[in-house]
Amino acid sequence: MASVTTLFHAGIIGAVFFQVGHNVLLDQSWGVSLPCFAEAVTDGLTLLVLAACGFFLGRRLFVAQVRALSTAYDHVVLALVALPFLTGLLAFHGIFEYQSVVLLHMASGELVLMAIPFTKLMHAFYFMINRFLLPGEHSFIKRGVRAW
């Protein structure tokens, strides 16, 4: 589980921030550009993220302990995360009508950004607070002290 989760998050960061198309838009709007991965690498990262989403869905459906804790909300958040990657892959490879798929890709990406403060996706920002600002069991600053 730790390996899949780590690869999932690395794939998200890599595919979103180091993708050529996203960096072109970033450069046009802000005049800033990050290094870019080759298109094959970005495709691989996208497939990795989608495979990890499939793993997480399978785990929610087939592992009894996880299924007991899962709700429709968890499935919606997982689908919300997977949708921009799926539509981005479809748009890049010209599967279906390009303009419609690109619009779906942009809308689903914006929906993820809007959902972050109101869903479990907020853990992306709370990670930094937990690791660096709060002393305690999981902090990098103060080791071995339990907060509870």
146 falls within a domain: no
What does the pLDDT read at residue 127?
74
Q: How many CA atoms lie within 13 A of 20 on its CB side?
A: 8
How much of the chain, in percent, has pLDDT values that exceed 90? Answer: 78
Residue-range definition of the domain harbouring residue 38: 2-133
Q: What is the pTM of this model?
A: 0.84
What residue type is assigned to position 79 of the chain? Answer: A
Q: Establish if 139 belongs to a structural domain.
A: no
Q: Is residue 141 part of a domain?
A: no
Q: Is residue 78 part of a domain?
A: yes
Residue 143 lies in a domain: no
In a domain, 38, yes or no: yes
CATH of the domain at 23: 1.20.950.20
Query: pLDDT tens digits for 5-25?
Result: 999 999 999 999 999 999 999
**Residues 62, 67, 69, CA angle at the centre, nearest 5°?**
160
Determine the pLDDT at residue 138.
Answer: 55
Of 126 and 36, more confident: 36
The mean of the pLDDT values for the chain is: 89
Length of the chain: 148
Instruction: Count structural domains, the chain.
Output: 1
